[in-house]
Chains A and B, each alone.
Chain A
Amino acid sequence: MNIASINIPESATAAQYPPIPEPNMLTEFFWEGIANHQLLILRCGSCGTYIHYPRPICPTCLSMDDLAPAQVSGRGTIYSHTTTVQPFHPYYVDKVPYNLIVVALEEDENIRITSNLIDFPNDDIRIGMPVEVTFQEVAPGLTLPLFKLA
């Protein structure tokens, strides 16, 4: 099984990188999409259900052969949010306070994406705000889907 891994410099430290995704055969498409600046969500071709996190079977119709990544708009609304004050990982020691948002996607509000809202004051974030995806290389070799106000 040849799975594209996210490559970072050998000299990298925990303080320079947030936890780094380790793609597997089910999730590789997602991170390849992010590297290409596309937000791809697994979708069932038989019944149209979006499936996130990626699974080998559609929970609506139990199709297994007809699942494929589909590009989504990257637009959605903030479902909830928090501003984290205490750093639980070395990367965040000099980044607190930072926000964490959960985005309900426009295509299906039950598809929720955890991310960060950029270029906006943490204290002014509110549920329901419209946002859209943007892709940022947060550290060399690591691109993440972040969000900005739409």
Chain B
Amino acid sequence: MAKRDRVAAIGVGYSTTGRRTGLNRRQLVAQAAKAAMADCGISPDQIDGVVLHAGVAGAEPPGLDWIDALDVAQMLGITPITFYNSDQGGPAYFHAAISAIAAIQSGQAHTVLTVRVINQRLSSAEERDSVQGPMRISGDSQFTMPFGSVTPIQTIAALPAQRHMERYGTTEEQFGAHVIAQRANAVLNDEAIMRDPLTMDDYLNSRYVSKPVRLLDCDYPVDSASAVIYTTEERSRDFAKKPVFVESAAASATDILPAGFEKLHDLNMNSPYHAAKTLWSRTDLKPSDVDCAQLYDGFTIIVFQWLEALGFCGEGEAGSFVESGATRLDGSLPVNTDGGACNVGRRHGANFCIESIRQLRGNESGARQVKDAEVAVWANATGPFSGAVLMTAD
């Protein structure tokens, strides 16, 4: 693929984030967007595109209100605009990012505000207790739910993790090593929610949800909105913060969509492999050039899948790679330096982008700053749909 003009990320922002904040989508989006605009000192008339990825991962609590990208633009006085997208499908925040990047590369917009808003889902007990009478299931789920396949923890996490263990010899302690390492990063992050250090005993005593997946392997559902503003390289140095550049970006969808993780060709080598292959084909940089990796941790196994897919270790070797300490803050490839979504809360991918940008700005990550970070990769989702972005410092 021919190299195109580079796209830059110039502003980042988060809303108030926490459990049951009482804030609805509109409020969370407004907070995050305003924070990102303030971060880079941009005014509404300098933005000509808005992308919103909304929606709750799981059962939705009442009262959240519904908004789309046009609402966001109107609310923030961003008018007129030439590009907008409110698509809810695909790999979470990455889906919003790739839409903005593509719009800028193609010239449909020069500066795009992206927002991922996600509210805390109903708890599994609340969801279970809200079931009134026998449940009828249509669509593909009629082939899975009658057998008790009722949560992504089983299909996205437990089935692939079990296969990773039996096929490659991965151990529960190796999953635990990752959970402990990224919690240690969260201890250094004022914005993280889970900040008590963890031991291996803590991990192994954490209850199973669906074996081998434990509660501590699951990201932490919260109310949150996250915003990132992208623009052209030409405009990127006109704002308050040092720009960070998109070196390459790749989306992938493979096999069956959107359900059916259990039917993927291979439970552990799916769209992340395809996305990573495309990502590296669009740059002269190599995995060894990467200073830190921010890898989607909806569940621990997904981090392992990305470590292998991106070529940081060989197929099936993520367990020993993590156990060696390589992914700790003082290791050769610090991973999830903000603490990951298990600890900063479920921002559905956006935190990995924002942490990459902050690390590459070089002076915003405090005690968790990776020294001289010039190249970062972030990745989102897994299985049938996913994507990754390689970013570089100016």
- Asked whether A88 lies within 8 Å of B124 as measured between CB atoms, the reply is yes
A98–B124 alpha-carbon span in the complex (Å) = 17
- Which residue of chain B has the shortest Cβ distance to A126 in the bound complex? B166
- Asked whether B147 lies within 8 Å of A84 as measured between CB atoms, the reply is no
- Which residue of chain B has the shortest Cβ distance to A19 in the bound complex? B145
What number of residue pairs across chains A and B have CB atoms under 8 A from each other?
A: 141
Interface hit among B112-120, B135-143, B228-236, B283-291: B135-143
State how many angstroms separate the Cβ of A115 from the closest Cβ of chain B: 5
**Residue among A30, A79, A93 with the highest chain B CB neighbour number at 10 A:** A79
* Contact string against A for B residues 148-161, beta-carbon threshold 8 Å, 1 for contact and 0 otherwise: 11110010001110
A115–B148 alpha-carbon span in the complex (Å) = 8
User: Which residues on the B side are within 8 Å of A81 (C-beta)?
Assistant: 159, 162
User: Which residues on the B side are within 8 Å of A112 (C-beta)?
Assistant: 262-263
For chain A residues 63-100, which have a beta carbon within 8 Å of chain B?
Answer: 79-93, 95, 97-98, 100
- Asked whether A98 lies within 8 Å of B146 as measured between CB atoms, the reply is no
- Asked whether A98 lies within 8 Å of B262 as measured between CB atoms, the reply is no
User: Which residues on the A side are within 8 Å of B208 (C-beta)?
Assistant: 83, 85-86
Q: For the complex, is B128 an interface residue (Cβ under 8 Å from A)?
A: yes
- Asked whether A98 lies within 8 Å of B148 as measured between CB atoms, the reply is yes
State how many angstroms separate the Cβ of B187 from the closest Cβ of chain A: 28
* Contact string against B for A residues 17-55, beta-carbon threshold 8 Å, 1 for contact and 0 otherwise: 111111110010011000000000000000000001100
State how many angstroms separate the Cβ of A76 from the closest Cβ of chain B: 13
- Asked whether A14 lies within 8 Å of B260 as measured between CB atoms, the reply is no
Contact partner of B137 (CB less than 8 A), chosen from A8, A19, A80, A83, is A19
**Residue among B159, B160, B265 with the highest chain A CB neighbour number at 10 A:** B159
Query: Interface size on B (CB < 8 Å)?
Result: 45
Query: Interface size on A (CB < 8 Å)?
Result: 49
State how many angstroms separate the Cβ of A49 from the closest Cβ of chain B: 14
- Asked whether A144 lies within 8 Å of B147 as measured between CB atoms, the reply is yes
A130–B148 alpha-carbon span in the complex (Å) = 21
Contact of A18 with B146 at beta-carbon distance under 8 Å, contacts A80-B160, A86-B124, A88-B151 already known: yes
- Asked whether B146 lies within 8 Å of A20 as measured between CB atoms, the reply is yes
- Asked whether B147 lies within 8 Å of A82 as measured between CB atoms, the reply is no
Contact of A14 with B134 at beta-carbon distance under 8 Å, contacts A22-B142, A92-B148 already known: yes
**Residue among B132, B146, B151, B209 with the highest chain A CB neighbour number at 10 A:** B146
A108–B364 alpha-carbon span in the complex (Å) = 53
Contact of A127 with B163 at beta-carbon distance under 8 Å, contacts A12-B133, A19-B135, A20-B137 already known: yes
User: Which residues on the B side are within 8 Å of A116 (C-beta)?
Assistant: 147-148
**Residue among A18, A19, A22 with the highest chain B CB neighbour number at 10 A:** A19
- Asked whether A82 lies within 8 Å of B158 as measured between CB atoms, the reply is yes
Contact of A82 with B210 at beta-carbon distance under 8 Å, contacts A18-B146, A100-B148, A102-B159 already known: yes
- Asked whether B262 lies within 8 Å of A80 as measured between CB atoms, the reply is yes
Q: For the complex, is A2 an interface residue (Cβ under 8 Å from B)?
A: no
Q: For the complex, is A110 an interface residue (Cβ under 8 Å from B)?
A: yes
User: Which residues on the A side are within 8 Å of B134 (C-beta)?
Assistant: 8, 12-14, 16-17, 20
Contact of A20 with B135 at beta-carbon distance under 8 Å, contacts A86-B210, A88-B150, A100-B149 already known: yes
State how many angstroms separate the Cβ of A59 from the closest Cβ of chain B: 10
- Asked whether A20 lies within 8 Å of B160 as measured between CB atoms, the reply is no
Q: For the complex, is A114 an interface residue (Cβ under 8 Å from B)?
A: yes
- Residues on B lying within 8 angstroms of A by beta carbon are 124, 127-129, 131-138, 140-151, 154, 158-160, 162-163, 166-167, 207-213, 256, 260, 262-263, 265, 267
With A19-B146, A86-B208 already in contact, 4 other A-B pairs whose C-beta atoms are closer than 8 Å: A82-B211, A127-B162, A142-B146, A146-B147
30 A-B pairs, CB-CB below 8 angstroms?
Answer: A14-B131, A17-B134, A18-B145, A18-B147, A20-B134, A21-B136, A21-B142, A22-B138, A31-B142, A53-B140, A79-B163, A79-B262, A80-B159, A81-B162, A82-B154, A85-B207, A86-B208, A88-B124, A92-B150, A100-B154, A100-B210, A112-B263, A113-B143, A114-B144, A114-B147, A114-B149, A114-B262, A116-B148, A127-B162, A127-B166
